[in-house]
Amino acid sequence: MLFNSFDFARLVLVTFALYYLPFMAKRQVIILILSSLLFYASSQPVLVILLVSSATVNCLTSYFVVHGKVHYQKAFAIVGVMANLFILAFFKYSPLVANTFFQSSDSIGHFLLSIPLPVGISFYTFQGISLVMDVFKGKYTSRTDTVAHSFLKHCRNTLFFISFFPQLVAGPIVKAHEFLPQITKKSLRNIDWETCFKNLVMGYFLKMVIADNLKDFTFWIMYPYFQQLSSLTLLVMLFGYSIQIFADFAGYSLIAIGIAGLFGYQLKMNFNFPYIATSFSEFWKRWHISLSSFLKEYLYIPLGGNRKGPFQTYLNLLITMLLGGLWHGAAWSYAVWGCFHGLALAIERILTSWFTLRSSKAVQFFKGILIFCLVTWAWLLFKLPQFEHVMAYMHTIRSNWMVEDHYKIITYCLLYSLPVIAYHIAYLLKEHSPLKYQQMIRFDYSVYGFLLFMIFTNSGTTGAFIYFQF
């Protein structure tokens, strides 16, 4: 069930109407759980069993971490984390194991290839890990505040936390210590209507107008179609895909945040204008913030972070980004993508310890262009999961300069990229020219009205969110 479908709109409207009925106030969480399960079942009914099983495992292990015998608490925490990792590995990486070590004709290889990839499994298993780890560490809130003494209440809260439908299939990744304390009775008068409206309009505009239109032109990046196109066309398409993947995922995140806000739940910002970043470390503070903060908190820091000397720091960065790359997809190209970012972060750290560049506007501008170009180049590994196709694309760019340019693709890729460029420029004005920004936001609602008009009149053909596959 896509966010931009009539079925989803009906689900949200019916859920919203029931949720805020006065006599349903004590059943608000149950209503959201039922809607979430219905939402998930609409695409993969059988795999609702897996979602509920995942929630059950996390409920049991987290409960006994807090209320079980003290000398068994660490064992329950380990079992909880390992169970989540096993579920993720079995359902997501079995095809990768099959393709790497077996023939498809082998019985084992055939079995591994037949295992379905559940939508959103990368997200809800990570949330399960955060629940178990948060209650084991007791770092953020009291353990008993997070895990109710009533087992049934804790089961309800855990299933709700794992399955909450706005962010179930593509994030943002929500941590237990951020979400569970929010489970209280909600009221219509507490909704921040303006913020929800802006998030929803911007989210749907980015997804339906920008990403869904760009996808029809970046489609030609796929093998073997790109081999017939000119070098300039290939470069512009790659630029367009960089804009598309941002608009698609940031759009989804804004929609999820907006819908969650309608039900009284606050999800954290997942994208903070990443394409203005002037370093890789800044890029990862702005791109997919929920993932980068999760990896930092639950992987990089436990590995030792930067506390054990330079070499160990670089190794930890590489391991973290390698696993972060594989989290995105069951193909070795994602591992290469992760290694690229890990090496970039390590090299950047080395260079900044050796050299100090004068922080002029010109230097910052060229650093921003360089980071954007490198990040964009690496997105090719997302669009072409087979590494040999990536190499063929790069070779075609080098060899097709004499081929006639495809002006329609070039024009529309640039045209639909302009609003995202303007979106980032507006943020830069806010940061560096607050007076000009204040003048600009006087037309705030005119802009949102125009975006709403474009959603209804210029949306592209409906397409699944890119991150649904992760």
Burial annotation 60-96 (CB, 10 A radius, 16+ → b, else e): bbbbbbbbeeeeebeebbebbbebbeebbeebbbbbb
Give CA separation, 204 vs 4, 211, 255, 291, in Å. 8, 10, 7, 22
Instruction: Measure the CA–CA gap between 465 and 451, rounded to whole angstroms.
Output: 20
Instruction: Measure the CA–CA gap between 285 and 278, rounded to whole angstroms.
Output: 11
Instruction: Pick the closest to residue 460 from 209, 205, 203 (CA basis).
Output: 209
388 contact partners, CB below 8 Å, separation of at least 6: none
Longest dimension (CA), the chain: 73
Tokens of 99: 């393709």
Spatial contact of 300 and 291, defined as CB atoms under 8 Å apart: no
Spatial contact of 342 and 318, defined as CB atoms under 8 Å apart: yes
Q: How many CA atoms lie within 13 A of 312 on its CB side?
A: 10
- Which residues are catalytic, by number? 328
Give CA separation, 91 vs 160, 240, 294, in Å. 22, 32, 21
**Amino acid identity at 215:** K
User: What count of other Cβ atoms lies within 10 Å of the Cβ of residue 266?
Assistant: 12
